[in-house]
Amino acid sequence: MHSELLDRSYHFLNFLPNVADFLVEKHKESNLKVDEKSLYNLVTEADLKAESMILEEIQKNFPLDGILAEERGAIDGSSGYTWVIDPLDGTTNYTHGLPLYGVSVGVVETETMAPVIGMVFFPELNTYYHAIKGEGAFREKKQIQVSQTKSMKDSLFVTGFPYDRNLSLDTLMQYYKSILQKSRGIRRTGAATLDLCWLAEGKFEGYYELGLKPWDMAAAGLIVMEAKGKLTSMDGNDFSIMIPSLLASNGYVHEYLLAEFEGQINRVVY
């Protein structure tokens, strides 16, 4: 299995700069076509083309693998591996000219949906993160690790809001207020993969979000785990990319954060 993972990781670490270059060039255009999939949820021609580039590369080089992609949906495979793809995480940032967006490509074991490879490129930040299960997490060639901060008052957190946030706005604001009162602050980048990668290298102590999709978590979630971070759902259940809530932390502040969500999480509409 290890050689199979190395082959996939090595191939795509060399291929994904092509996708990153395409997104940078497309970002310079003044007439970018943008459509609404739903309220607050945008898709651009850049998303669609970037995803097509990634899918074609997978099907050409690993034709027996399954695929789960944000725009194209699911494609069955027989190899035991499934690629989980977000071609442009942070589309709203992208459409507003912000550089906070990424290309996320993960590989999971098809039977369990457990991540085994994670790769996230941030084209306009000129950096990328990657991990293979059991091999540690890296920013480019440098191994990274979560922060060692142990107290809430010294911690900086990051969060995001679901597309259907109007259904649960009061609860979301309660979480925000409660954590903000006990910590150094809360940030919002608008890209879940960036939040998780920055947590993995110690910039944040914790991250939480509702309404996530598998492609938001598969690659960056593994990077956090391999950086010695901790992942659960927001109600404390085992991490799964199929559960639409995520709490990620450096481990030290995890129980404090779970206590903030206790008794409230079941009221939220995903």
Q: pLDDT, tens digit, for every residue of 11-25? A: 999 999 999 999 999
One pLDDT digit (tens) per residue for the chain, 270 residues: 689 999 999 999 999 999 999 999 988 887 766 665 544 445 678 888 999 999 999 999 999 999 999 888 899 999 999 999 999 999 889 989 999 999 999 999 999 999 999 999 999 999 999 999 999 999 999 999 999 999 999 999 999 876 555 556 677 778 888 898 899 999 999 999 999 999 999 999 999 998 899 999 999 999 999 999 999 999 899 999 999 999 999 999 999 999 888 755 544 433
Question: pTM of this prediction?
Answer: 0.92
pLDDT tens track for 136-179: 999 999 999 999 999 999 999 999 876 555 556 677 778 888 89
SS3 letters across the chain: CHHHHHHHHHHHHHHHHHHHHHHHHHHCCCCCCEEEEECCEEEEHHHHHHHHHHHHHHHHHCCCCEEEECCCEEECCCCCEEEEEEEEECHHHHHCCCCCCEEEEEEEECCCCEEEEEEEEECCCCEEEEEECCCCEEECCEEECCCCCCCCCCCEEEECCCCCHHHCHHHHHHHHHHHHHHCCEEECCCCHHHHHHHHHCCCCCEEEEECCCHHHHHHHHHHHHHCCCEEECCCCCECCCCCCEEEEECCCCHHHHHHHHCCCHHHCCC
